[in-house]
Amino acid sequence: MALQLGDIVPDFTQDSSEGSISFHQWAGDSWVVLFSHPADYTPVCTTELGTVASLKPEFDKRNVKVIALSVDNAESHRGWINDINETQKTTVNYPIIADPDRKVSDLYGMIHPNSLNNLTVRSVFIIDPNKKLRLTITYPASTGRNFDEILRVIDSLQLTDNYQVATPANWKDGDDCVVVPSIPTEEAKQKFPKGVTEVKPYLRTTPQPNK
């Protein structure tokens, strides 16, 4: 059965560019972004791995660990990292899981035979500190991932986990939020002292509560 939102993600122990990793233990109390690649030495993925390395301070600020996966072995990963560092003018500062036996790929449903035969598709998994899957996105091989969007989603998840709000279309950190439907308007006005704007009885906005 496919991994679904809210599921506890599978644990595994696997080699990586930084040695053996037991996934749940490695994740600890952090959020995790796990993102997969069809193979080493692929052009779009080379730019993505470099981008994530440059954004790592942003992930760190949000208590997020990042980890990549490719079906090649750890020695191949380490060679690829040299190319990434050279071409992307960065330093890869997170592990890349080696998955030559497709163990993790199968656990996480990363093999889509009609797309890439026996290679992993380019998926993103956002996992919370309770090891629950909170988001998954799968991209075609030709389209580079937007990691600013992934950071935006993490901001939304962390905000909405702590306050009774949701985030509207194209929301970014600092924008107004939507009051969840389960809170009556009068109660919302007490709960959100910065103010509640009633656009419709079911559509009410409030300034971001933690700003």
45 part of the active site: yes
Rounded CA-CA distance 80/60 in Å is 24
Q: How many helices (H) and strands (E) does the chain have?
A: 7, 11
Reading the block at residue 143, the tokens are: 């389209």
Element (H, E) at 204: strand 203-206
Sheet holding 165-166, edge to edge: 165-166, 177-179, 203-206, 197-200
* Contact (CB, 8 A) for 69 and 104: yes
Q: Of the listed 45, 68, 98, 119, which one is catalytic?
A: 45
Rounded Cα distance between 45 and 198, Å, is 45
Active site residues per annotation: 45
